[in-house]
Structure 1
Amino acid sequence: MSASFPVSTKLISDLSQIAPDYDAILCDVWGVIHNGQRPHDAACAALARFRRERGPVILVSNSPRPVEGIPPQLATIGVPEDAWDAIVTSGDATRMMVKEGDFGSRCFHLGPQRDHLLFEAMNVTRSGDAEAPADFIICTGPWDDETETAEDYRSLFAGLISRKLPMICANPDLVVERGDRLITCAGALAKLYGDMGGTAHYAGKPHPPIYRLAREMLANLGVQQPPDAWNRVLFIGDGLPTDIPGAQAQGLDALFITSGIHAGEFGSDPDHPDADKLTAVLSRAGLSPQHAMPRLVWK
């Protein structure tokens, strides 16, 4: 199966077709190697095969959790450890932004209790009370992502914006897969905050801070990169608002996984995306990933 599109994207069926062109992989997590409840076994096996035959794999996640919180989460889902060498997260980038920025010391945390790990080793006073004195906001997602959407926060945001509180979005994803459903993420809240006139800063994909961390991690693994470019590194992701624009802005080659959060845009069969629909969606978005495939596999 192969086809070339006007947007210069080649549809492939097997990671081994392009693996010799790359020495390292940066790979998205949700939607590529698991769906929040179970692993995508073939994708995990493909990454493990790349590690054996080509080079390191770094998982690049928009999770608001810092890196120390991710391996236990992956183990719970069933993702094998041999699928990756290292991990960088939007949570790590958030910590970096707070440390290096001038946001102040009092933070209002908008997000669920499970994300409190982010604030460990962060020199801020955290409050979950929107009425408490605060210098800035860190948003890790809705308080209840099972039922809430960004619109549930419109009135809250009006008050925060009137206080001129900047927001750091610790997870720029708009939605994420959880089983067969799409769940609202912090990126949707930050978008509304900005649309309403607030100031939103973003830590994860497609924004630069997380790629800085990925570059540093590659160097730690012995894969040196030119100062302002990427050499023989492939980015794999399923997010058109985040993964592919981020790779394109960074000058990274990208492999777009079509069966993730955008699967319904490419026809009724996730394993056989409609070429014309894929072309149209990428063209409208102004995106040209070098490669696309339904699911990450190495046959």
Structure 2
Amino acid sequence: MTQIITALSEISDRYQALFVDLWGCVHDGVRAIPSAVRALQTYRSAGGIVVLVTNSPKPRAGVEAQLGEFGVSDDAWDTIATSGDSARSAMFRGAVGEKVYFMGEEARDADFFKPLGLLDNPVDIQRVPLAQADGIVCCGPFDPMADPDVNRADFLYAKQKDMKLLCANPDIVVDRGDTREWCAGALARLYTEMGGESLYFGKPHPPIYDLARRRLAALGKEIAGTDILAIGDGAQTDIKGAMGEDIDSLFISGGLAASETKTSHQPDPDLLNAYLEREMSAPTFAIGHLR
């Protein structure tokens, strides 16, 4: 049974490191959530390590810059692992071929194609029209407000050509302030449902957790899974991923599930349990908002 807590400090001394989701937990896509920033600062001041583990398709440097823009102070975290970095590494290893069709917002996602500088003999990636492509690189929809089904015709063509789709962000939706937007995961889900093959590198899939552990190791920290707590608002990403990695988790009910759990300050316990049962999710702990 998931235990509802009122503050991270009630349980934080059990864990040496936190794997913390960003969107819906530390910021709302527009600005920082002050109580979350304070909770992470307090945790770090007691010696804990904070790894921000995000399904953002951005490289780590891009996420760090965005955090500054949103007002998340750099003393609230130690290092960052992004779905984008995991996916970029796979792309430059040739996971979907050399000639790729790009899906995303040009101004936001262009950095995805910058060389990693970490690989020997990386593939020379070329962006081409769909008709010339070996595979698809999806950082998100062209229009985050449009129904993913608008891509059905292109996906049918790609499936018939046996193209693989590299999904740089497995999130289905995200809330930017008060506006809900579609993410790359919604497109990858559609492509898979149509019979295509989608490759995932963010939560809940193993590659991003491997990257998060490498980030810890780069800090000189070898921490057992029993000493790590994952925090996030996505039942099918953050919590499912934590369950797959066999690490404890703290579910933030005031993010994506705020309406279903009637979370203002704290969730309604009965609605929370009903929601988690529907999602087949079993977080160790739950709280309305990170604080």
Quickly name the TM-score band, shorter chain normalised.
over 0.9
- 1:129 is aligned to 129
Which secondary structure does the structure 1 equivalent of 2:152 belong to?
A: helix
Cα pair 1:142 1:149 within 8 Å, conserved: no
> Which stretch of structure 1 is more off in the superposition, 88-97 or 169-178?
88-97
From 2, 9, 23, give the equivalent of 1:16. Answer: 9
The offset of 1:252, in angstroms, is 1.0
The offset of 1:260, in angstroms, is 0.2
- 2:238 is aligned to 243
The offset of 1:162, in angstroms, is 1.2
From 60, 66, 73, give the equivalent of 1:80. Answer: 73
From 63, 67, 70, give the equivalent of 2:63. Answer: 70
- 1:153 is aligned to 151
The offset of 1:127, in angstroms, is 2.1
The offset of 1:195, in angstroms, is 0.2
Deviations 1:89-127 (A, max 9, x none): 001110222244543211111111020101111544332
1:277 counterpart = 2:281: no
The offset of 1:160, in angstroms, is 1.2
Deviations 1:131-175 (A, max 9, x none): 3x2111110001121x31211111111111111110010000000
Measured in 2, the distance between the counterparts of 1:296 and 1:29 equals 11
Which secondary structure does the structure 1 equivalent of 2:102 belong to?
A: strand
Instruction: Show the 5 A alignment for 1:1-299.
Output: 8-100=1-93, 102-113=95-106, 114-121=108-115, 123-127=123-127, 129-131=129-131, 133-145=132-144, 147-226=145-224, 230-267=225-262, 269-297=263-291
Measured in 2, the distance between the counterparts of 1:87 and 1:58 equals 6
Give TM-score, length-normalised by structure 1. 0.92
Which secondary structure does the structure 2 equivalent of 1:116 belong to?
A: helix
Cα pair 2:96 2:163 within 8 Å, conserved: no
Which secondary structure does the structure 2 equivalent of 1:254 belong to?
A: strand
The offset of 1:129, in angstroms, is 2.4
Cα pair 1:24 1:233 within 8 Å, conserved: yes
Cα pair 2:17 2:223 within 8 Å, conserved: no
Q: CA RMSD in A?
A: 1.4
Q: Counterpart amino acid of 1:208? A: P
- 2:119 is aligned to none
Give TM-score, length-normalised by structure 2. 0.94
- 1:5 is aligned to none
Measured in 1, the distance between the counterparts of 2:149 and 2:92 equals 31
Measured in 1, the distance between the counterparts of 2:79 and 2:238 equals 18
Q: Counterpart amino acid of 2:41? A: A
Point out where structure 1 has 5 or more consecutive residues left out of the alignment. Answer: 1-7
> Which stretch of structure 1 is more off in the superposition, 178-187 or 90-99?
90-99
Measured in 1, the distance between the counterparts of 2:59 and 2:178 equals 26
Which secondary structure does the structure 2 equivalent of 1:148 belong to?
A: coil
Q: Counterpart amino acid of 2:8? A: L
Cα pair 2:86 2:202 within 8 Å, conserved: yes
Give the number of aligned pairs.
284
The offset of 1:55, in angstroms, is 1.4
Deviations 1:29-84 (A, max 9, x none): 00000011111011011001101103110100100011111111111111111111
The offset of 1:179, in angstroms, is 0.6
Q: Counterpart amino acid of 2:275? A: V
Cα pair 2:92 2:125 within 8 Å, conserved: no
Which secondary structure does the structure 2 equivalent of 1:60 belong to?
A: strand
Q: Counterpart amino acid of 1:120? A: K
Cα pair 1:139 1:186 within 8 Å, conserved: yes
